[in-house]
Amino acid sequence: MVIVKRKILSLWERLYLPEVLRGLSITFRKMFEPRVTRQYPEEGLPTDGVTRGQPRLVVKDDGNIACVSCGLCEAACPAYAITIDGQETDRFIEREPERFDIDMLRCILCGFCEEACPKDAIYMSNELELADYTREALAYDMEKLKRPASAMRERMDYVKKINDRW
């Protein structure tokens, strides 16, 4: 059993008002300092190359998807979130995905797909929000995953910098 002894207050403390004024002084001082809280939904989170958001597919500057549907991200995915079917194209790189699905509810944002990709085609974007009304809407298909390379540039440069260390 613990006996808590009541603190014996000094006369200054028992006067009450000085402590109230001290507290208010802090309040007023902070009012004029820069704010540290964020109005989240209206004001987004700051992101940079280190941000490991949801995986997205890179569309190259010539308009073609960079993915060749090699299936390495599918094999590397520990959550079995990725499903790919390939098809033939007439371009120099003969293979492209016919279907590229990522079930965002399965995705654990580990970044293994990005690491496995030999073609720099899938990157963890700076997109963090994930909300919808149905489960089906969160199983993203290729059209929902495509992003221009310019939008992913920051992450691509960061990953390159990290990889160049080895």
Partner 1 sequence: MSQSEAKDSGARDTAMVTITINGREVEADPSKPLIAACHAEGEEVPHYCYHPGLSPVGSCRICQVGVQQGQMPPRVMAACRTPVAEGMVVDTEAPKAHDARRECLEFLLKNHPLDCPICDKAGECTLQDYSFDEGQGEGRSVEPRRKLDKRKSLGDVIVLDQERCILCSRCVRFFEEVPETPQLCIGERGSHSVVETFMNRPLTGNYQGNLADICPVGALTLKEFRFQARVWNLHKVASTCAGCSRGCAVTTEVLRKHEVKRFRPRHEPAVNGYWMCDTGRFALEAPNREHRLCGGILRGGSGQAQPVDTRTALEVARDMLIVHGEALIVASPFLTVEEGRELLALGKTLGARPVFLSPEPNDLTDDLLHTGDPCPNRRGLSELGFDALPVEEVLETLPSYESALLVGERLIDMLGAKNLATLPTALRVVLLECHYVDSPSIDVAVGIPNHVEREGTWVNVDGHAGRIAIARPTPEGVWMATRTIDTLHELLTMSAPGADAPGSATPGAIPSTPGAEATLG
Among 53, 57, 59, 74, which residue sits at the site for partner 1 (rule: CB under 8 A)? Answer: 74
In the complex, minimum distance from the CB of residue 91 to partner 1, in angstroms, rounded to a whole number = 11
Binding of residue 80 to partner 1 (CB under 8 A): no
* Span of 26-34, 87-95, 123-131, 135-143 interacting with partner 1 by CB under 8 A: 87-95
Phi, psi dihedral angles at 127 (to 5 degrees): -90, 120
In terms of Cβ atoms closer than 10 Å to its own Cβ (0-12, 13-18, 19+), residue 58 is buried
- Closest contact distance (angstroms) between CB of 70 and partner 1 is 4
Q: Which residues contact 146 (CB under 8 A, 6 or more apart)?
A: 56, 57, 59, 65
Interface pick for partner 1 out of 106, 119, 144, 146 (rule CB under 8 A): 119
87 contributes a contact to partner 1 by CB under 8 A:
yes
Contact 130, 54 (CB under 8 A): yes
State the amino acid at position 45 in one-letter form.
Answer: L
Indicate which single residue of 42, 48, 88, 136 sits in contact with partner 1 (rule: CB under 8 A).
88
Which DSSP category does 109 fall into?
-
Count the residues in the chain: 166
Q: Which of 9, 24, 50, 75 binds partner 1 (CB under 8 A)?
A: 75
Given the rule CB under 8 A, which residues bind partner 1? 68-72, 74-75, 85-88, 93-95, 118-119
